[in-house]
Amino acid sequence: ATPRAADEVVLSADTTVALGRRILGKPSDEKEAAEFLLALGGRRHRVLTCVAVASASGIQCKDSVSTVKFKRLGDAELNAYLASGDWRGKAGGYAIQGPAGAFVPWIQGSYSAIMGLPLYETAALLSGAGVAVREGWT
């Protein structure tokens, strides 16, 4: 890794999906994506996103936990979604901002955190690191 200069700020975030005590990472293939999506169907699950900012003052972290309800998918919906490939590289096999958003009737928490970057928490961390996040707002 390249060392960070004293005046640089580094932002990092990651998201995971938890169904009960089971962590649903990024599916390795279409079969695993189908397993994840079928397991989520008709149930609520948690989406946990942590954001970290490293600056001259150290590393600060904030997390966001949201709850998402996923509808039960019929065979045609599931197969069409899998064929889209949108599940690739997505925790739990879906992204709420993509086509799978149509499978989510209810959320509690932060939509931006479910997408992968909790904006409120990120702005607070960046402000704390001396980054002008609201510069130019009117």
Annotated catalytic residues are: 14
Q: Count Cα neighbours of 91 within 13 Å in the Cβ-side half-sphere.
A: 19
Q: Please calculate the CA angle 28-29-34 and round it to the nearest 5 degrees.
A: 110
Total length of the chain: 138
Token pair for residue 12? 């990092």
Left if phi > 0, otherwise alpha if psi is -120 to 50, otherwise beta: which for 49? Answer: beta
Q: DSSP H helical segments within the chain, as ranges?
A: 30-40, 75-84, 111-115, 119-128
Distance in angstroms (rounded) separating the CA atoms of residues 10 and 20: 32
